[in-house]
């Protein structure tokens, strides 16, 4: 049962002075070995490295370094961490791109969205910074307090004698059961996400519909292929189905101009054997990496 200290080392307590990169911790631990705690921490560190004021900083200045850090992390991240980093990175890149454009005028909705994204990023960054500063206060406070020891001496023998005799009424068996229960490893807190990722729309199923329609029409625009649905998930599923069919060379895709009409042509022949569409998109998500650690 030495797992607590390992767990503490991995999760919350100060690591030994020379952390071992081979430590079999989870991804969270590895991130911390690189000396930052998530995207906001990294961003704050980069900003302060350049001695920039966080409230005024042009984030494009630190974007490249941020991206470099992400790249340096390699393939070891789990989806959880990567997602947050990518969200921040994408926002940063957006902002950088916007600065490269000649006009700074707010003209269309895309600009507005960019401004919103920037404000949101700032807001989250500032919020995180606030808690970080509070954490420093907590740290000092806990250190100060650790120099005070409460009196926890308990009763003098003649007082302890006043206590009523202890009654243990559960019997030896009950006691053993209790011991088993108490020593049972506690279930790790976890939130079940299956329902979130459950494929409400099956790509395989939608592929069937798309194939049937294309075989009948020979050629159709994507707009036509999704005309009978206004459900985003179904549209996405049909698009994914097309990608799979394209991979199987069952369809040809043609799009004359960017964001223009996408024309799909059936190239799968007239046979009855339907092209292979995998269940790649329909499988439940991989179990969280966390589990492997236990």
Partner 1 sequence: MSEETTELPAGLRGVADLDLKPALEAMLMVVDEPATEEHLAKLLERPKRQIARALRELADEYLTQGRGFELRFVAGGWRFYTRPEYAAAVERLVLEGQTARLTQAALETLAVVAYRQPVSRSRVSAVRGVNCDGVMRTLLQRGLIEEEGTEPETGAILYRTTNYFLERMGLRGLDELPELAPFLPEAEAIEAETQEGVPSFDPDAPDSEDADDN
**Binding residues among 66-105 for partner 1 as defined by CB under 8 A:** 80-81, 83-84, 87-88, 91
Q: Which residue of 49, 50, 99, 188 would you call a contact of partner 1, by CB under 8 A?
A: 188
State the Rg of the chain over Cα: 29
DSSP character string of 223-251: HHHTTT---HHHHHHHHHHHHHHHHTTSE
Q: Which of 137, 258, 259, 294 binds partner 1 (CB under 8 A)?
A: 137
Binder of partner 1 out of 97, 170, 233, 253 (CB under 8 A) = 170
Burial of 25 (0-12, 13-18, 19+ CB in 10 A): buried
- For residue 117, the minimal CB distance to partner 1 (Å) is 5
Q: Which is nearer to partner 1, 89 or 245 (CB)?
A: 89
When binding is defined by CB under 8 A, the residue of 49, 50, 99, 177 that contacts partner 1 is 177
Evaluate whether 263 touches 221 at the Cβ level (below 8 Å).
yes
Does residue 4 belong to the site contacting partner 1 (CB under 8 A)?
yes
259 binds partner 1 (CB under 8 A): no
CB 279 within 8 Å of CB 204 = yes
Q: Which of residues 72, 100, 182, 259 is near partner 1 by CB under 8 A?
A: 182
Give the number of other CB atoms < 10 A from CB of residue 23. 15
Using left for φ > 0, alpha for ψ between -120 and 50, and beta otherwise, residue 174 falls in: alpha
- Does 141 help bind partner 1 (rule: CB under 8 A)? yes
| Binding region for partner 1 (CB under 8 A) out of 137-145, 206-214, 238-246, 273-281 | 137-145
For partner 1, the binding residue among 127, 255, 276, 278 (CB under 8 A) is 127
Minimum Å gap between C-beta 102 and partner 1 is 25
- Shortest CB 264 distance to partner 1, Å: 26
Write out the binding residues for partner 1, residues 30-59 only, by CB under 8 A.
31-32, 37-41, 55
Q: Which is nearer to partner 1, 21 or 271 (CB)?
A: 21
CA distances from 218 to 92, 189, 240, 265, 269 (A): 44, 53, 19, 6, 10
Secondary structure class of 169 (helix, strand, coil): coil
Look at residue 249 and give its three-state secondary structure: coil
Q: Which of residues 219-238 bind partner 1 (CB under 8 A)?
A: none
Size of the site for partner 1 (CB under 8 A): 100
Options 104, 183, 257, 294; binder of partner 1; rule CB under 8 A: 183
C-alpha distances in Å from residue 211, one per residue of 19, 124, 251, 268, 282: 55, 45, 9, 9, 18
Q: How many CB atoms lie within 10 A of CB 34?
A: 12
């Amino acid at each position: 049962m030495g797992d607590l200290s390992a767990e503490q080392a991995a999760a919350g307590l100060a690591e030994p002075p020379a952390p071992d990169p081979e430590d079999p911790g989870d991804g969270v631990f590895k991130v911390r070995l690189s000396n930052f705690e998530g995207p906001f921490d990294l961003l704050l560190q980069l900003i302060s490295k350049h001695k920039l004021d966080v409230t005024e900083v042009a984030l494009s200045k630190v974007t490249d370094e941020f991206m470099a850090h992400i790249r340096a992390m390699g393939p070891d991240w789990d989806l959880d961490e990567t997602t947050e980093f990518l969200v921040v990175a994408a926002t940063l890149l957006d902002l950088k791109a916007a600065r490269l454009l000649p006009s700074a005028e707010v003209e269309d909705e895309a600009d507005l969205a960019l401004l919103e994204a920037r404000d949101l990023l700032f807001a989250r960054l500032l919020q995180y910074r606030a808690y970080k500063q509070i954490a420093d206060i907590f740290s000092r406070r806990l250190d100060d307090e650790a120099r005070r020891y409460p009196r926890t001496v308990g009763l003098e023998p003649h007082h302890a004698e006043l206590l009523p005799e202890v009654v243990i009424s559960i019997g030896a068996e009950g006691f053993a059961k209790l011991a088993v229960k108490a020593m049972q490893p506690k279930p790790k807190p976890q939130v079940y996400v299956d329902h979130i990722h459950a494929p409400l729309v099956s790509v395989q199923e939608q592929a069937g519909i798309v194939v049937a329609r294309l075989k009948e029409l020979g050629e159709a625009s994507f707009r036509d292929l999704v005309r009978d649905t206004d459900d985003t998930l179904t549209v996405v599923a049909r698009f994914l189905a097309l990608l799979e069919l394209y991979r199987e060379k069952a369809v040809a895709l043609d799009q004359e101009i960017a964001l223009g009409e996408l024309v799909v042509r059936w190239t799968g022949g007239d046979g009855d054997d339907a092209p292979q569409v995998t269940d790649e998109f329909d499988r439940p998500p991989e179990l969280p990496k966390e589990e492997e650690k236990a």
